[in-house]
């Protein structure tokens, strides 16, 4: 009888362990700025989650109680499976160590919540994860750009194999990283998990929404996985000598096209974005930057489709007056370089191939763009001089 009892305890213990909450995706860094950063991950069960941070000193992570950050909404901590924790009050140009936690919610009633096991990242048997905040006053920046991967992880890994912690400030994904947004699993298996495996837990990526991320029944969940300061897919940030304007061109066909199943309203969306853009280019941070780079998936040239034409109508007149140094685009699945003045754009456009990677580096005087193929071979180089 005692043996049966012990066996039952073991079976129940194993069953409970098998059902314990797990971190299934992430963590990955989003919207790292000078004084803030967001960390995103996904659990398989509803949880209360938080992040602890520590300075990058010689003290053990367990040396003292570390500050905790939670996702909150309307004064309450958020319970769920997608966890977007914003860290604030940070110092620019500073490296931080971090640890993530998720405590399973076993039962939630109006006046009682029952919590279960905790899943967390490991700081005991290996070094904690780290990230470094941006610094708009530093003299240099180095980053990579890819686009139009469409879920091809082999190509993704090949193009970004040279991303190195401490040398690469960040990576830009310039749209169409998947062919449509069907589910959370498809999104992560399409490219985010590959990013995490290569670099994204310690080197951030900044997402640019392509027209294909606008498609699919899961497209409405886009902002859950790619939070921004504007709470929209368009936003800005500055690192070193470059001020980045991240834009969203929306879809490429007219809103009434049958492909959009009666749900598209991108003309109105681009009109709203144009009003935001006017405010951005009038800001002192933008005007004072040695280089100004606009990143948008669908180029406003090289096409007579409605989306690019409306993008050109809404955005190009504003950008022409703003002194843009370079626009980075994708969408065409081929390399195209349009010189300043092409099709009414008073700035150069570099449209990157889906099978090539851009490595951009700059100081206060010069910005270099190196185009490399999937084997790492350099195929083109562009050099821009600051007029500041």
- Give me the domain span that covers residue 181: 141-385
The backbone torsions φ and ψ at residue 312, rounded to the nearest 5 degrees and listed phi first, read: -60, -45
Q: What SS3 class is residue 327?
A: strand
CB 149 within 8 A of CB 156: yes
SS3 of 91-156: the string is CCCCEEEEEEEEEEEEEEECCEEEEEEEEECCCCCCCCEEEECCCCCCCCEEEEEECCCCCCHHHH
- 176 conformational bin, left if phi > 0, alpha if psi -120 to 50, beta if neither: left
In a domain, 3, yes or no: no
Which positions of the chain have pLDDT values less than 50?
A: 1-17
Q: What six digits make up the tokens of 360?
A: 């951009």
346 occurs within a structural domain: yes
SS3 content of the chain, % helix, strand, coil (to 5): 25, 35, 40
Q: What is the CATH number of the domain that holds 103?
A: 2.60.40.10
Work out whether strand 349-351 and strand 326-329 pair parallel, antiparallel, or are unpaired. parallel
Q: Are 347 and 215 members of one domain?
A: yes
End residue of a domain, out of 75, 102, 132? 132
Residues 247 and 369 in one domain: yes
pLDDT for res 387: 80
Residues 165 and 300 occupy one common structural domain: yes
């Amino acid at each position: 009888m005692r043996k049966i009892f012990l066996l039952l305890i073991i079976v129940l213990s194993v069953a409970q362990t098998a059902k314990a909450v797990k971190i299934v995706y992430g963590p990955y860094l989003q919207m790292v700025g000078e004084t803030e950063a967001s960390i995103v991950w996904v659990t398989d069960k509803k949880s209360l989650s938080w992040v602890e941070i520590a300075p990058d000193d010689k003290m053990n992570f367990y040396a003292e109680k570390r500050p905790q950050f939670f996702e909150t909404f309307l004064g309450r901590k958020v319970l769920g499976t997608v966890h977007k924790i914003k860290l604030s009050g940070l110092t620019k140009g500073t490296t931080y160590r971090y640890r993530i936690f998720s405590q399973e919610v076993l039962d939630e009633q109006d006046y009682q919540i029952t919590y279960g096991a905790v899943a967390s990242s490991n700081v005991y048997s290996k070094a904690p994860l780290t990230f470094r905040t941006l610094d708009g006053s530093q003299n240099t920046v180095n980053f990579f750009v890819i686009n139009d991967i469409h879920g091809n992880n082999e190509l993704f890994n090949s193009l970004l194999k040279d991303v190195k912690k401490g040398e690469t400030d960040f990576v830009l994904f310039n749209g169409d990283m998947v062919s449509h947004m069907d589910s959370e699993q498809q999104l992560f298996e399409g490219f985010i998990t590959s990013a995490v495996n290569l670099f994204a837990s310690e080197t951030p990526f900044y997402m640019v929404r392509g027209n294909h991320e606008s498609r699919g029944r899961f497209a409405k969940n886009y902002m859950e996985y790619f939070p921004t300061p504007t709470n929209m897919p368009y936003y800005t940030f500055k690192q070193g000598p470059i001020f980045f304007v991240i834009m969203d061109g929306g879809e490429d066909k007219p809103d009434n096209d049958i492909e959009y199943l009666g749900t598209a309203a991108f003309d109105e969306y681009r009109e709203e974005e144009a009003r935001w853009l006017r405010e951005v280019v009038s800001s002192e941070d933008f005007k004072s930057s040695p280089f100004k780079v606009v990143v948008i998936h669908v180029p406003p040239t090289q096409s007579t489709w409605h989306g690019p034409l409306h993008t050109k109508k809404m955005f190009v007149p504003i950008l022409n007056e703003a002194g843009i140094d370079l626009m980075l685009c994708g969408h065409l699945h081929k390399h195209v370089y349009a010189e300043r003045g092409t099709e009414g754009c008073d700035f150069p456009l570099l449209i990157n191939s889906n099978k090539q990677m851009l490595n951009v580096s700059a100081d206060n005087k010069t910005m270099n763009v190196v185009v490399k193929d999937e084997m790492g071979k350099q195929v083109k180089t562009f050099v821009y001089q600051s007029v500041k």
